[in-house]
């Protein structure tokens, strides 16, 4: 296929492991530089969100329930795109393609055979929007021997690398991941998941206060970090000590893994503060091992909106600059959605994506299945 024209519009859809909604970004590209024309987040219907949480936690479900929610989520994605286009005053024919990550239910790149599962039927997206849709990005990478994740670093490299500053882009969604962008060749460009992002804290506050997330980290800020509990979690969890490349998901990092360490007399607010600190210190420890000089960490994802988490991350990295990707000109809430608009653009152009140094696939590959609209 031919390369899309400069300035042509693409739509990126991202619904992360935090299950806080469907992010839609309508993006124009001038060369490789994206410009977000319009972006919005659509909250999940309460029943769909509850079902997705059950599916993401690895609960036993029937095949019919799995594929029913594959269809329902595809419909929800399509509705979110149509709403965003209407809000932006755009028609479907003005968009070259939609890139949809899908909702990850299970990610197992180190088993034999390796596999990864995302739902959100792209056939239904293409049918309901009238826009060609690109989806199922991860499975080709896994088939090529890669980790299948993270994929947003592919855009981070194209967009955020700077010749005079060592940078790490930290995406804190349900799971946290980093992209290492050294200014020179003192270390390689790389990426990995570091462990839990918001998923544990979100699940904890939902259980104890019936809230979907801790706005500005205020509930956690009022708690005290239980250092003995934190030390146990950091010591006992082998993922934190594992070397990159590595990827994980909410099927692995969920409350059930950590609750056995809790005791009844612990204040839920103190546990909340400790869960936030677990994210900050596991992220910080991964970054502190990097051979970088005067480095900067730029945060995107839902965690960028949590001042308490950013303070704790800065405390874990006292010699680093810690800021949001807003300082680099991209709204931190929509970096990942923009990445999948970019990946759709690459797929439509038939270009292989340079994944070898990010996911450690055996070779670079063309990622994503193509679902053509009429």
Q: What is the mean pLDDT of each run of 10 residues along the chain (374 residues)?
A: 63 88 94 90 93 84 93 98 98 97 92 95 98 97 93 88 94 93 84 94 94 95 97 95 89 88 92 98 96 94 95 97 94 94 96 90 96 91
Give the span between the Cα atoms of 106 and 35, in whole angstroms. Answer: 32
Give the span between the Cα atoms of 340 and 104, in whole angstroms. Answer: 14
Query: Is the full-model pTM beyond 0.95?
Result: no
Side-chain half-sphere exposure of 292, counting CA atoms within 13 A: 26
Asked if the 9-148+334-353+365-371 domain carries CATH number 3.30.420.40, the reply is yes
Q: What letter would DSSP give residue 192?
A: E
**Three state DSSP letters for 335-357:** HHHHHHHHHHHHHHCCCCECCHH
pLDDT of residue 19: 83
- At 25, give phi and psi (nearest 5°): -120, 125
Residue range(s) of every CATH 3.30.420.40 domain in the chain: 9-148+334-353+365-371, 153-328
pLDDT of residue 1: 40
pLDDT of residue 7: 61
Closest CA to 57 of 327, 232, 259, 332: 259
| CATH number, span 153-328 | 3.30.420.40
Structure confidence by residue, pLDDT tens digits, 127-171: 999 999 999 999 999 999 999 988 888 889 888 999 999 999 999
Structure confidence by residue, pLDDT tens digits, 277-300: 999 999 999 999 999 988 999 999
Cβ burial 123-139 (10 Å sphere, 16+ → b, else e): ebbbbbbebbbbbbbbb
CB atoms within 10 A of CB 272: 24
For 19-49, the DSSP string reads ---EEEEEEEEETTEEEEEEEEEEPPPHHHH
pLDDT of residue 38: 97
Give, in order, the Cα–Cα distances in Å from 175 to each of 2, 19, 188, 250, 359: 35, 11, 23, 7, 16
Q: Is 97 helix (H, G, I), strand (E, B) or coil?
A: strand
Q: 299 forms bridges with which residues in the sheet?
A: 170, 324
């Amino acid at each position: 296929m031919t390369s899309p024209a400069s300035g042509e519009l693409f739509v990126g859809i991202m619904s992360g492991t935090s299950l806080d909604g469907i992010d839609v970004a309508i993006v124009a590209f001038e060369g490789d530089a994206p410009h977000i024309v319009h972006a919005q987040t659509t909250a999940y219907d309460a029943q769909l969100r509850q079902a997705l949480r059950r599916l993401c936690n690895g609960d036993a479900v029937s095949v019919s329930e799995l594929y029913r929610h594959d269809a329902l989520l595809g419909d929800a994605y399509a509705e979110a795109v149509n709403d965003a286009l209407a809000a932006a005053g755009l028609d479907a024919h003005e968009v070259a393609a939609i890139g949809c990550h899908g909702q990850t239910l299970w990610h197992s790149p180190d088993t034999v055979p390796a596999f990864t599962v995302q739902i959100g039927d792209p056939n239904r997206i293409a049918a309901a929007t009238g826009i060609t849709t690109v989806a199922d990005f991860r499975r080709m990478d896994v088939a090529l021997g890669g980790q299948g994740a993270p994929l947003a670093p592919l855009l981070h490299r194209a967009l955020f690398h700077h010749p005079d500053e060592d940078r790490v882009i930290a995406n804190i969604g349900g799971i946290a991941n980093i992209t290492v962008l050294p200014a020179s060749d003192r270390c390689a460009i790389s990426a990995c998941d570091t462990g839990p992002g918001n998923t544990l804290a979100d699940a904890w506050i939902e259980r104890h206060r019936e809230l979907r997330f801790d706005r500005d980290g205020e509930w956690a800020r009022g708690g005290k970090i239980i250092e003995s509990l934190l030390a146990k979690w950091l010591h006992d969890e082998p993922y934190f000590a594992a070397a990159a490349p590595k990827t994980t998901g909410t099927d692995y990092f969920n409350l059930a893994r950590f609750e056995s360490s809790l005791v009844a007399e612990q204040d839920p607010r103190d546990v909340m503060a400790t869960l936030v600190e677990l994210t900050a210190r596991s992220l910080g420890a991964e970054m502190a091992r990097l051979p970088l000089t005067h480095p900067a960490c730029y945060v995107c994802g839902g965690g960028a909106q949590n001042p308490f988490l950013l303070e704790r991350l800065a405390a874990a990295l006292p010699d680093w600059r810690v800021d949001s990707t807003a300082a680099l000109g991209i709204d931190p809430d929509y970096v990942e959605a923009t990445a999948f608009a970019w990946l759709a653009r690459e797929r439509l152009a038939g270009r292989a994506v340079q994944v070898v140094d990010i996911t450690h696939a055996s070779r670079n590959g063309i990622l994503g299945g193509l679902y053509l609209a009429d």
